[in-house]
Structure 1
Amino acid sequence: MVYKTILAIIGAATPDQFLKQAAELCHLSEAHLSVLVVVMAAPPPIGDYAATISDAWLEEQTEDRRKLEAKITSSRDVLSGLASGAEVEGLYCEAVWAHSRIARRAIYADLVLIGDADIIGRELRRQAIDSVLFDARRPVLLVPKAAPVTLMPRKIVLAWDSSPDAAAAAREALDLMRGTDLIDIVMIEPDADGVRQGEDPGTDIAAYLAHHGVKGMVDRIVADGRTIAEALQDRAAELSADLIVMGAYGHSRLRERIFGGVTQAMIEAATIPVLLVR
């Protein structure tokens, strides 16, 4: 996929450095940058004390809108000399409506950039990732704080488990993989059951990539007591990889939030950029 329209979702407190990073990414990729500043409103007061606190709630709304407008203005100023034609829009809504409103904007992007919790805020980050992956069905590029990010990676780690989501991620990243120095197809303790992953796990996806002119190295790793996410991150660090590519939420969001999962662990603790695809 050649990314020509990139959406960056930010909050009112997102540092300017993230915007500069997004602008540089789009400049090098010859892509158009759109920025969506999101501020989620507190729900209206209800119950016996609604009348008592309604004034405070209205004042909070006024302040939130002021912060939103200020961030839109400052973001335009930051981008004015960095990204020609960049668009900055604002969204103010209650959390219950955030999913649909963010998704409505994300469907017009090839790729959505989302920073870590320090960059965007924990609640907005969760809402943004879910709405983009599940509602808009667009790929998400997670950008950890202070991590370099590029759409011309030299070394890529492809997390592979023979699932449809992993296959979708591999297809999404085909253009990124061409011209790289290394594609490491990482499998964490695969089961050679001859059914789901085949008797020689990883050779199927390596053959698929080869048909597209991409040479991948199958790397079967023993976890040694680590979680799958930890093993992936360790391998990426060993290779000095620029990007991890993986399918997202093989299990339901609710199950991953309650019991944990690879996607949730990577979202929470990514140290290099991660391309999530569903």
Structure 2
Amino acid sequence: MQAKTILSIIGVNQNDDDLHSAIELCRESKAHLSVLVTALAAPPIGGYGEVTSTAWIEERERETEQLSLKVAAAKTILQSDDISFDVASVFTEYGWAENEIGERARYVDLTLIGGGLLALDDMRREILNGALFQSPAPILVVPKGHAASLRPKTVLIAWDSRNEASQAVRAAMEQLTAADNVSVAIVDPHASTHSSGEEPGADVAAFLARHGVRVSVNVLASGGRAVADVLRQHATDIGADLIVMGAYGHSRVREWIFGGVTRSMLEQTAVPLMMTR
């Protein structure tokens, strides 16, 4: 994936760490940075459909003012840099947030989710769902303490022979071909001609090798541990600075209620994670 436009979503109450990380990523990639400052409106006191209180109106006015101040502050920071950029804002209800985010994510090559946004429990789920489900562009989730980069040296591919994983690999092909080492990690595969192949990982390894990727296959036994835990440990063992994986092999509702690899990796990723669906 060659990123020419990168979307960075910034919460109105965040510090500027995510913005600075996005600036550095766009400078490295020579990409245009599109910043979306986001605020989710609190519902009316007492619930929707009831008489709107004066206190609620005043709160909405304060939230709108905070959003304007955050936009102005972001522009000030960006104007002191030498990258191409634009700044927009969205003030929306929780029920519409996914659509609002998705609408903007459709016109970029990559959506960047930084550690500051990941820490916002009231926004994280809506933002991630919008970026993943309402746009075909991949997301890059960068946990706090890590630098955002599209030039990884060691990459872990979480492979499960599903379409989602295949799409993620194709989206990250530029990063994979440039990496020094790429590990295809498969956890507890079932060898058959209808799932992982008679030799799990051989097909995707051959596909990647034809693109010039320096690839190896690692079949991992879970030993009763969660798949996400196995992948995180393997990423640490090989010194991965990027994980590539597909999102939501099961239904989204099932993932959020009962958990799953996607949700666990998004909530507890130890290294930057590129994901698409």
TM-score, normalising length from structure 2?
0.95
SS at 2:131 equivalent: helix
Cα shift readout 1:243-275 (whole Å, capped 9, x = no counterpart): 000000011111011111000000110111000
Cα shift readout 1:4-58 (whole Å, capped 9, x = no counterpart): 100001101222121111100110111110110110112235679944x610110
C-alpha distance in 1 between matches for 2:206 and 2:47: 62
1:149: how far off? Answer: 2.2
Instruction: Give the superposed CA RMSD.
Output: 1.7
After superposition, where does 1:149-168 map in structure 2 within 5 Å?
149-168=148-167
C-alpha distance in 2 between matches for 1:118 and 1:105: 17
Question: Which residue in 1 is equivalent to 2:255?
Answer: 256
Question: Which residue in 2 is equivalent to 1:221?
Answer: 220
Question: Which residue in 1 is equivalent to 2:197?
Answer: 198
User: Segments of 4+ in structure 1 off by > 6 A?
Assistant: none
After superposition, where does 1:161-200 map in structure 2 within 5 Å?
161-200=160-199
C-alpha distance in 2 between matches for 1:173 and 1:48: 43
C-alpha distance in 2 between matches for 1:47 and 1:179: 52
Where in structure 2 are there 5+ consecutive unaligned residues? none
1:75: how far off? Answer: 1.1
Equivalent position amino acid for 1:19 in 2: L
CA contact (8 A) 1:10 1:120 kept: no
After superposition, where does 1:63-82 map in structure 2 within 5 Å?
63-82=62-81
Cα shift readout 1:100-155 (whole Å, capped 9, x = no counterpart): 11111111110000124665612322111111111122211111011122101100
CA contact (8 A) 2:18 2:115 kept: no
C-alpha distance in 1 between matches for 2:153 and 2:226: 26
C-alpha distance in 2 between matches for 1:202 and 1:47: 52
SS at 1:275 equivalent: strand
Cα shift readout 1:201-238 (whole Å, capped 9, x = no counterpart): 00000011112121310000111232111111111111
Q: 1:104 to 1:175 in 2, by over 3 A?
A: same
CA contact (8 A) 2:5 2:34 kept: yes
Question: Which residue in 2 is equivalent to 1:44?
Answer: 44
Q: 1:49 to 1:104 in 2, by over 3 A?
A: closer
CA contact (8 A) 2:15 2:116 kept: no
CA contact (8 A) 1:141 1:275 kept: yes
C-alpha distance in 2 between matches for 1:95 and 1:48: 12
Q: What percentage of aligned pairs have identical amino acids?
A: 41
Segment of structure 1 superposing worse, 70-79 or 182-191: 70-79
CA contact (8 A) 1:9 1:114 kept: yes
SS at 1:241 equivalent: coil
Question: Which residue in 2 is equivalent to 1:130?
Answer: 129
Q: 1:135 to 1:147 in 2, by over 3 A?
A: same
Q: 1:119 to 1:269 in 2, by over 3 A?
A: closer
Question: Which residue in 2 is equivalent to 1:269?
Answer: 268
SS at 2:122 equivalent: helix
Equivalent position amino acid for 1:3 in 2: A
Where in structure 1 are there 5+ consecutive unaligned residues? none
C-alpha distance in 2 between matches for 1:118 and 1:87: 19
CA contact (8 A) 1:107 1:138 kept: yes
C-alpha distance in 1 between matches for 2:109 and 2:46: 40
C-alpha distance in 2 between matches for 1:213 and 1:48: 56
C-alpha distance in 2 between matches for 1:78 and 1:97: 29
